[in-house]
Structure 1
Amino acid sequence: MPDAIPTMPPALAALLSRSSVPPRLMRDPAPDQAALDLAVAAALRAPDHGGLRPARFIFVSGTARQALGEMMAASLARREPQTPPERLDIERAKPLRAPLVVAVGAAIRHDRPGVPPWEQEASVAASTMNFLNALDALGFGTVWLSSGALRDPAVKQALGFAETDTLLGWVYVGTPAPERPTPRTVDVQGVARHWVPGA
């Protein structure tokens, strides 16, 4: 640790200790509404050029997870018609692996040329990381996953998104099992450097 940081600030310690939790290691209970509200409030502290607030969080819990699973399996069948039934069953069961699934999306504004869609998506990605960190600080486990269904217009529509919006991922949330993963050591070498003009 650098000499300029004699003690580790708690917020930084929390960031350095966070790790994703696989859905197989998630249990009930899921966060209650008060905890979700706090996590969304933290999400909205992310950088947001133009103050457009493009982040959207759709909570899927209880029996709604089954409906989401059916939708994901149907999406896979449309995209890959030759998918065997057992693979569709795996897709169908995915949302049931955790007590809460959050569909994260970007409500894209196209009437602000100074804030292109990629900036709005980047803002939502930053919001999602704040959301994950907040839930981790509250004692919950999270993991941010992707799938081809995120790019399916029918899935977007069913979740209440416009055709021009973007789905950025599925966040699985639950109470972590005792054997949750421990953070791996990170090596910053080769990742960051100072720029020297002409060098």
Structure 2
Amino acid sequence: AQLGSIADKLREARYGVVLWSAGKLAFEHAELTVQTICNIVREINMQNTRCSGLPLGGKEGDYTANQVCGWTTGYPARVNFARGYPEYDPFVFDSHVMIANGEADAVVWVHAFNATATPPQTELPTVVIGRSGMQFEREPDVFIPVGTPGIDHAGHTYRMDSVVALRLKKLRDAGLPSTAEVLNAIEQAI
């Protein structure tokens, strides 16, 4: 009854907007929920009304990572370069699925915002490029502490609507490199 009422209201609206909190969709195959929402919005737009979908939230660099991935590869995150070109598949290249299926040789986990976040639990060799002060359930094989964007070094982030890039200023000198500096140094060493 409630779903029918929501559908009726969306069809009757002059301009409906379906909002969802992307950060709350932390369950297996959550991307199918987003796909269903997009299909509903498309169906409504094929009728005699207008409708948009808008994900809210995002956290700890999600939007920025997707933006950078998008303008460098043409795809959002979950891109594979094994064939020498970017190949996008949100299901096949889900890191948790790849680890569970034994398709990964190692885990390189990058997280410069939240000191309480932890990498996936695995027996694979693990490299963490993360915020200083992180605590781990299992110590990574390599831990490289980095500064936090907008605190320890300047940078950019994208607003939650993914439209505007916001400048981040350095507020202190913790003597820690940025994630970009570490990744560039690794690339140069390879």
- Taking structure 1 as the reference length, what is the TM-score of the superposition? 0.20
Greater relative CO, 1 or 2 (CA 8 Å, sep 6+): 1
Higher strand share: 2
- Taking structure 2 as the reference length, what is the TM-score of the superposition? 0.20
